[in-house]
Amino acid sequence: MQRSPYLSIARFVRTPGVRALPLLCALTLTACQLPAPGPRTASTALGVSEAQATPLGAAIAGELAAHPGLSGIDPLAKPLEAFAARVDLVRTAQRTLDVQYYIWRNDLTGTLLLEALREAADRGVRVRLLLDDNGIPASLDATLAALDAHPNVEVRLFNPFAVRRPKSIGFLTDFSRLNRRMHNKSMTADGMATILGGRNIGDEYFGATDGVVFADLDVLAIGPAASDVAHDFDRYWSSAPAWPAHEILPAPQPAQLDTLDRAAQAVQTNPSAAAFIAALQEKTDVRRLLDGTLPLEWAPTRLVSDDPAKAQGKAAPESLVLSQLRDILGEPKRELDLVSPYFVPGEVGTQYFTQLAANGVTVRVLTNSLEATDVLPVHAGYARRRKALLEGGVELFELRRAAGTQTTKEQAPGAFGSSGSSLHAKTFAVDGQRVFVGSLNFDPRSANLNTELGLVIESPALAGKIETAFWHQVPQLAYQAKLDASGSLYWIRQTADGTTRYDTEPNSRWSTRLAVWFFSILPIEWLL
């Protein structure tokens, strides 16, 4: 997975045959600038009465009336179910679809979901698609331009690149702007139901690849949470960094939507897509929601979302997600259970977590191990603070590459990718009472550069599930990092046969560990 614009630059400059292009672009800066912004079509989320009048609104009206002021929450942990729920949510919509993502791949799952959006538009649904331009491949430009030309679809690109191929040129001419990205992820139908969380749109997020497979978490939410997300989408949709696609992309080709149709048909006959096509035939959580058989956790919820002006470096500190979380959650009194795939606490975060532990709060963190990480520089940012965290009383667990199976040989991820299983969920529970689910990583990029989105859910039941996982499941799925009497790091792994100890990072090569050390001494922590 691509983690940051810094990594994009590194990959670009190593590509054979393109080393002269940055210089050429630097000499012709005018070709690398965005066009003057034109007029924008005004549109907003449905009003309450309009949303309630939709078939989706009518189907859940009774449940909402029985739980006034509360949101209905359904966790989506299984990848196939999370994919099928999205497709069914699109198919259920009758009036509006508001779709906001950081990454959208031009692959099996990305193609099927784009086709579902086009079909929704064909039946009269207004589709607003807002994508971060760093997270979409250039190969999707023609398809997105064609979708944008559909009378019921409008596509906007957040913080776009003027040069489309290769986009990396833009980082060399406009780094301060393009280094800030929209990391939000949500899909909302008719203003009544939304899916949000950690998953982007791509095969690796739904288990449809032989490469990296992300362990992730979303929630399906109805009630006030869905309405809040719909109105927050309006805020991003009308923000200055959200550019109409037709001002950025090449002119649409009339036959391109036919190409999308053929690609979707080809996917449906592809043997590798069999599990996904089968999942669409099953009764999804969205269908259970419609027929009243979906068990929901009803709870007060609060939406936390960065001001989109953060992408321009102009947001007030109190408008940022971390500030909102502090105001809503307060200080943990008993325990903090945190799941973050990209955990780079930095000096301030390390002091915060160790101070909590010093005050008697149980602090447990689950992140990726070196063998499971998909980005070495991020692991280096975590490893740099690991000893200080352990010395301060924080408990650290590192997810194994293939949880529940034995790794038989050393495996070395590259700086920009790896194969196997990797944690991607972003969630935490406080005092067994409150849960956060969303896009936020505990790293400097999420705190200071990227925009983020999530829900704080007042639910002892959901918080209890995370607490129980840390006590019973995590030790079986992860290594635990520890310090011995001399202050040296070691790792333990619990198995049916007992405890295995590792004195170096498990299942890693010396060259990989050397690379981690090298990244840890570079002044790049603020980028991670």
User: Can you give the three-state secondary structure of 13-43, one letter per residue?
Assistant: HCCCCCCCHHHHHHHCHHHHCCCCCCCCCCC
Q: Render the burial of 409-424: b for 16+ CB within 10 Å, e for the rest.
A: eebbbebbbbebbbbb
Coil/strand/helix, residue 514: helix
Q: Quote the DSSP letter at residue 253.
A: P
Query: What does the DSSP assignment read for 439-497?
Result: S--SSHIIIIISB-EEEEEE-HHHHHHHHHIIIIIHHHHEEEEEE-TTS-EEEEEEETT
Whole-number Å distance between alpha carbons of 389 and 382? 10
Name the amino acid, one letter, at 467. Answer: E
Query: What does the DSSP assignment read for 330-388?
Result: ---SSEEEEE-SS---HHHHHHHHHHHHHTT-EEEEEEE-TTT-S-HHHHHHHHHHHHH
Angle made by CA atoms 31, 1, 88, in degrees to the nearest 5: 100
Q: Dig out the tokens for 171 from the structure.
A: 């980082």
Whole-number Å distance between alpha carbons of 303 and 225? 7
β-pairing, 186-189 vs 193-197, is: antiparallel
Name the amino acid, one letter, at 74. Answer: D
- Among 175, 176, 156, smallest CA distance to 235 is for 156
Whole-number Å distance between alpha carbons of 359 and 521? 31
Whole-number Å distance between alpha carbons of 198 and 187? 12
On whether the CB atoms of residues 185 and 424 are closer than 8 A, the answer is no
Whole-number Å distance between alpha carbons of 191 and 203? 27
What residues are annotated to the active site? 183, 185, 190, 424, 426, 431
The CA-to-CA distance between both ends of the chain, in Å, stands at 13
β-pairing, 420-423 vs 212-215, is: parallel
Whole-number Å distance between alpha carbons of 247 and 145? 10
Whole-number Å distance between alpha carbons of 169 and 12? 8
Q: Dig out the tokens for 269 from the structure.
A: 């006959």
- Among 236, 219, 375, smallest CA distance to 296 is for 219
Cis preceding linkage at 166, omega within 30: yes
CA neighbours closer than 13 Å in the CB half-sphere of residue 300: 4
Q: How is the chain split among helix, strand and coil, in percent rounded to 5?
A: 45, 20, 35
